[in-house]
Structure 1
């Protein structure tokens, strides 16, 4: 995914009220940007760090700027906009970059499930293959050189794992795909020190046949491209 236009560079002043971030642009202008990441953003939002914002001229938007990237103190670039994760995975699926899913030809997004009216990010289908349902999670938490998910307790995440397990019981293939938007993360573990129940639910999902994949991305102010598989450690 290449950004549609050049991003605006600046310095983070603070992130607050979950959805807002104050930024000082290179020319000294102070702006408030929308923050699409509603999580804890641990290690992703320190005042003084270099950030990049996209700009939208739509007059209906309350905030013209959106926070896209940040560079942390170690020089790692992190994708802040969690909405990008599904875009990145859709592009990677279409380009057959995700090797384990490359045999599927048809991709449907935001598929409604009959059992509970919830939605799964993707349904893949292909000739002679079982339908494959894929739920995407964005990973940005790095602690002690290890990538973790989730960065906060996620009841919604528990529900998604149970839904994936049910889909396997119905004869489908189900995949939890960690999309790593952090250039310092080289493997993913479950943050049981943050959400112990997520680890319990994941263990049950694995036992039922749910598959786990983790892919990292090449990130720069010009583009974010999923480019390689990385280990998932459980």
Structure 2
């Protein structure tokens, strides 16, 4: 019997057990965030000394990386830094800043959702550009995932800095749709306090306009927030998308 077409439309996170779609953090050490030295390096105060850590996120993160906040990193030897910055504590909530994690969560979600007859490919190429996932279904379905750390007034906002790469991905998804295949973009807010998602028009109006245009062309847009602790990050709720 042929399995039904893949779709996020009816997905409810309640369909899964708590923490089922999760990424487990390695053991984390606590420090105090000091400053960002360059795009991918920050400094922390840790055990009465200053250590440098890799910041696995190219976004500005200005609203999250604040001096004096508790910061949690996973130590790793053999790097120019002493490990990877994973979490920042903002008030009583944790914010995951590792931009690689949404793809890990999405891959686990897709593995739960797709039938055995469908094939998931990561980093699939089209027109010389890589897209995060390709599902081989009755139609080919291309999926791009974006990481969000910025939340204002309950809205998860993307991007937090102008994103040429994000604009190019949207243009590619539109081309994909125009040739008869399917395109989906998924925004994952790596914190729990987002109730809705919206493109950040103030930061990148062109991206906002492209996203609206993509939806009119038939591109599907979905967003989720996450439950975050010192042990793990898990998909938590599907968010309303407001364009």
Q: Using structure 1 for the length normalisation, give the TM-score.
A: 0.89
Structure 2 unaligned segments of length 5 or more: list them.
1-22
CA RMSD after TM alignment: 1.5
2:192–2:236 contact (8 Å) kept in structure 1: no
1:34 to 51, 54, 70: 54
Paired position in structure 2 for 1:99: none
Distance 2:62 2:211 in 1: 22
What secondary structure sits across from 1:45 in the alignment?
coil
Structure 1 unaligned segments of length 5 or more: list them.
97-101
1:12 to 23, 29, 33: 33
Q: Flag as ranges the 4+ runs of structure 1 deviating above 4 A.
A: none
Q: Give the superposition deviation at 1:151.
A: 0.7
Paired position in structure 1 for 2:97: 80
Paired position in structure 2 for 1:2: 24
Q: Give the superposition deviation at 1:146.
A: 2.0
Distance 1:143 1:40 in 2: 15
What secondary structure sits across from 1:226 in the alignment?
strand
Q: Give the superposition deviation at 1:30.
A: 2.2
Q: Give the superposition deviation at 1:7.
A: 0.6
In 2 relative to 1, CA 216–124 (structure 1 residues): closer, same or farther, beyond 3 Å? same
Does residue 1:95 correspond to 2:117, yes or no? no
Distance 1:157 1:70 in 2: 24
Does residue 1:192 correspond to 2:212, yes or no? no
What secondary structure sits across from 2:132 in the alignment?
strand
1:89–1:226 contact (8 Å) kept in structure 2: no
The count of aligned residue pairs is 220
Distance 1:23 1:78 in 2: 16
